[in-house]
Structure 1
Amino acid sequence: MLNSKSTWVTIDDAKASFNLFCCVCGIGSLAMPSNYARAGPVYASVALGFMIFSNTLAAIKLSKAMLAAPSSVKTYGDLGEWSLGKWGRFFSVVSQMGMGVCVLVPIAFLILGSTLLDVLFPDAFSQTFWIIFMALMVTPICLIPTLKESAGMAFAGCMGTIIADIVAVSLLQYNMRGHGSIPSPDITAHQVLTCFGNLALAYGASIVIPDLQREHSQPQRMPRVVFVTMMVISAFFFAVAIAGYTAGGCQLSGNILYSIVDTSNPMGEAPLGFTSNRGAVVIAYLFMQMHITMAFSTLMMPPFYVAERLILGMHQNTPIVRFNPDADQAHIEEDMELQEKFSYVQASTPKDLANRQVSTSSLLDKSEGRISHIRAAIEFPEEITEAQLRAPYEGAKNKLRYIALRLCVIVVLVIIAVAAQDKFLDLEDFTGATAHTVNCMIMPILIYMRIFWRKMSVLDKGVSMLVMLVCGCAGFYVMIHAAQELFSPSDDDTAFPYCDVEFQNEPYYVRNNTN
């Protein structure tokens, strides 16, 4: 039996990791091969490596900033206000709620889910009907009050995307077996830069980190949980990208689920000239459908929480006093030293520290929400149970209020999804270039730099500013391009637009009985 003082993974760690994996590893993984089809293996690998580094850096910095924040800070918006003032809250909330999680990403889920259902049941109903049906499917899961309670379903969502991707790339490899050299893309700077939108969407980790950390019994463990989960996800992304690209080359211009079957004629030939085994297609689409259903609810939990606070008056906390670098820096340094002293490898459960004595001033600070999350976790260890998190939702009145609010939000998303149903791929790029760039890369690093500027090394400062600059410029470029495609689409109907002219309209290889 393992010693509790050296436990590597706790139940809360696993629950947080499942939710994070389900949130990040999903629709972004489907387009990983297309990034290689756009930019070629060298440039695409460099872009993927940069995004792995940038997003992991930003996610860990956000987690550490949340640890240093006072316990009155509960949400991403609270953290933005504490560190950067009212403008910090504005950009945090707008990027998360106004143009990010609460609108664009769930809309992309609804559109993709409706396409999957249309392939599974061809000629049964219109895509508009399937969008509404998709919303009805996710509604019961969206009514689960907290992320911690839905960890089991998040695990199912993780397995869904893994199985769907494996089946899809296996179909590609099998049906393209025996091919010669794959066609290389006609690489342009534009194609390399447009990889950024999908890659940014694929790594939307920071959206849920504050909420996962708030529900974790030992939030000081979260930076490591984030790092390990992001590395596993990145390895999976790389494997899917290479496996898909080596089968289709530059002709794998859409997501891999769209490459194994023609979505407009599910019983006919796929875009690459083969006819997939129908059973395998159904398996891939069903498991991705399962993932979308679970991930939709995971991504909606943070905006639900904020909406319940703003509209219903739930989850109220003490007023947030803005961070003062002169007065608060010493306390932050003390708290970070305390974290190193009582790290997660020394005490794996809240009970390990339960007998420590604390000062009266610490008790007062905790009651007024001034004590940091890390100090509160160490000096006042307690296991945060699902029953505690569910308490604000108890009672018939509260249940009716929060259910009605969440249903209204879902209805709004359905209306927008119906209007944008023909623009899934462009919506992906636009979402990644706007909301995810600001919310998941720029804001976390900016918040961290504001809090820890005096402790950061010159190298850390330089790298952080470089990441923000590159992400900001690339995101702005892709935003302009994706917006043009969304609102003023071109009439170009080239089948494989990333290839040289000779490979743009016909599959480069079609397997038959003679070859």
Structure 2
Amino acid sequence: MLSVPYALSQGGWLSLALFVLVGAVCYYTGKLIVRCMQADDSVRTYPDIGQLAFGAHGRRAIGLVMYVELYLVAISFLILEGDNLDKLFPGTVVELLGYRMHGKQLLVLVAAAVILPTTWLKNLSMLAYVSAVGLIASAALTASLVWAGVAEKGFHVKGSDLLNLSGLPTSLSLYFVCFAGHGVFPTVYSSMRKKRHFPKVLLISSVLCSLNYALAAILGYLIYGDDVQAQVTLNLPSGRLYTRIAILTTLITQLAKYALVIQPITAAIDKNLSVAATETGQLTRMLTSTAVVVSTVVLACTVTFFGYLMSFIGSSLNITVSVLFPCLSYLKIYKARGGVRHVEVAAIVGILAVVGTYTSLNHIIGTF
């Protein structure tokens, strides 16, 4: 949501049509994931779908893509924390052991120090409740943009580009990030008491999120035009109450969700290390979590470009998890059973063609 105004500025007003298309495609592929799960009662996770469709190689491939995606999202959380804390506390300087630390890197370290103990928890259910603050953060950000437009900048249609081909790949990548929750769909579906309602849940949430994203994108682009930053909160004027509310709710959300994001990564490492449920095993799990946090801190202090990182996640990983893998798995599972209609084959081929066109466009534009 923070990056959709920037995405709109990169692609121009007509890129909103592609935003709608991406939302529709991701909704359809979400339904394909559920169909894949319904093919076998033993399927409960996303890698399980890979196992059912393509065997052990499929499980390993989709698992690797998911873990890399989660790792990069964790890095983006820390970058986000550093940028927004710097917005709240500009010019912060600390001297430690004769070394002068300042700026975003210092604030990334502060955020990591707060986050680290949450990664040691055995039961993360408490963080799941806290992460519901994300709903409040979304509403607070939209309200802040409205407030900024009314009280500060006004809505002057500063962004005038109808279509910017050179920025279109970035826009599409960021739009895919908006709808890339497919990795957790199997977990949500498996946990529902009335699983038959999942398509309705998916449709309602997709529509509501789309409206929220689109409103934020349009407001941000109307107010700041081509000057909108990769995180629209960085455009909000310092010292204003609505700016502080928007940034604080965003910060709390990332603090709560970081441990949830890296938990599958640390669990996979512990499984490979055969960590036992003993005191020694608990210490090993803490060391594993600490090592993951430290590595993300180092990369967050090195890769400071939030917009480019989110674009990379969208273009190289989310598209695989959200579009390519569901389509190919569905065809592989149901084609042999004669359960794929010609209309579905045509729709899937069309989706794969669109993704292929996007990839080709990305490479062509990248050569100039």
Q: TM-score scaled to structure 2, two decimals?
A: 0.85
Between structures 1 and 2, the one with greater helix share: 2
* Deviation (angstroms), 1:180: 4.9
Q: Which residue pairs with 1:133 in the alignment?
A: 110
Find 1:299's aligned residue among 261, 265, 286: 261
* Deviation (angstroms), 1:463: 1.3
After superposition, the Cα gap between the structure-2 partners of 1:214 and 1:301, relative to the gap in structure 1 and judged at 3 Å, is: farther
Cα deviations by residue, 1:99-130 (Å, 9 ceiling, x for unpaired) = x112x111111111111111111111332222
Task: Give the secondary structure class of the aligned counterpart of 2:273.
Answer: helix
Find 1:161's aligned residue among 127, 138, 144: 138
Cα deviations by residue, 1:78-101 (Å, 9 ceiling, x for unpaired) = 321221123322331221113x11
Q: Which amino acid aligns with 1:458?
A: H
Task: Give the secondary structure class of the aligned counterpart of 1:258.
Answer: helix
Q: Which residue pairs with 1:419 in the alignment?
A: 302
Find 2:64's aligned residue among 94, 105, 112: 94
Q: Which residue pairs with 1:431 in the alignment?
A: 313
Tell which structure's C-alpha radius of gyration is larger: 1
Task: Give the secondary structure class of the aligned counterpart of 1:208.
Answer: helix
Q: Which amino acid aligns with 1:154?
A: S
Q: How many aligned positions are there?
A: 357
Q: Which residue pairs with 2:98 in the alignment?
A: none
Q: Which residue pairs with 2:75 in the alignment?
A: 107
Q: Is the 8 A contact 1:144 1:150 kept in 2?
A: no
Q: Following the alignment from structure 1 to structure 2, what is the Cα–Cα distance between the partners of residues 410 and 48?
A: 33
Q: Which amino acid aligns with 2:76?
A: A
Q: Following the alignment from structure 1 to structure 2, what is the Cα–Cα distance between the partners of residues 193 and 283?
A: 32
After superposition, the Cα gap between the structure-2 partners of 1:417 and 1:59, relative to the gap in structure 1 and judged at 3 Å, is: same
Q: Which residue pairs with 2:149 in the alignment?
A: 172
Q: Is the 8 A contact 2:47 2:59 kept in 1?
A: yes
Q: Is the 8 A contact 1:204 1:440 kept in 2?
A: yes
* Deviation (angstroms), 1:52: 0.7
Cα deviations by residue, 1:393-426 (Å, 9 ceiling, x for unpaired) = 6x645533433322222222222222212x2211
* Deviation (angstroms), 1:224: 3.4
Q: Following the alignment from structure 1 to structure 2, what is the Cα–Cα distance between the partners of residues 426 and 480?
A: 18
Q: Following the alignment from structure 2 to structure 1, what is the Cα–Cα distance between the partners of residues 249 and 163?
A: 33
* Deviation (angstroms), 1:253: 5.2
Q: Is the 8 A contact 2:9 2:159 kept in 1?
A: no
Q: Which amino acid aligns with 1:295?
A: K
Matched, 1:240 2:216: yes
After superposition, the Cα gap between the structure-2 partners of 1:428 and 1:87, relative to the gap in structure 1 and judged at 3 Å, is: same
32-41 or 47-56, which deviates more: 32-41
Q: Is the 8 A contact 1:434 1:479 kept in 2?
A: no
Q: Which residue pairs with 1:389 in the alignment?
A: none
Matched, 1:442 2:319: no
After superposition, the Cα gap between the structure-2 partners of 1:248 and 1:118, relative to the gap in structure 1 and judged at 3 Å, is: closer
Find 1:116's aligned residue among 71, 84, 87: 84
* Deviation (angstroms), 1:145: 4.3
Q: Which amino acid aligns with 1:455?
A: G
Task: Give the secondary structure class of the aligned counterpart of 2:183.
Answer: coil
Q: Is the 8 A contact 1:108 1:424 kept in 2?
A: yes
Q: Following the alignment from structure 1 to structure 2, what is the Cα–Cα distance between the partners of residues 180 and 160?
A: 26
Q: Which runs of 5+ in 2 are unaligned?
A: 93-101
137-146 or 117-126, which deviates more: 137-146
Cα deviations by residue, 1:32-88 (Å, 9 ceiling, x for unpaired) = 2223323332x22211101111111222222332243342x4432232122112332
* Deviation (angstroms), 1:169: 4.1
Q: Is the 8 A contact 1:157 1:294 kept in 2?
A: no
46-55 or 225-234, which deviates more: 225-234
Find 1:229's aligned residue among 183, 187, 205: 205
After superposition, the Cα gap between the structure-2 partners of 1:181 and 1:403, relative to the gap in structure 1 and judged at 3 Å, is: closer
Q: Is the 8 A contact 1:110 1:417 kept in 2?
A: yes
Q: Is the 8 A contact 2:176 2:319 kept in 1?
A: yes
RMSD (Å) for aligned C-alpha atoms:
2.9
Q: Which residue pairs with 1:189 in the alignment?
A: 165
Matched, 1:282 2:244: yes
* Deviation (angstroms), 1:443: 0.9
Q: Which amino acid aligns with 1:76?
A: Y
Q: Following the alignment from structure 1 to structure 2, what is the Cα–Cα distance between the partners of residues 448 and 147?
A: 32
Q: Which residue pairs with 1:470 in the alignment?
A: 354
* Deviation (angstroms), 1:146: 5.8
Q: Following the alignment from structure 2 to structure 1, what is the Cα–Cα distance between the partners of residues 294 and 79?
A: 14
Q: TM-score scaled to structure 1, two decimals?
A: 0.63
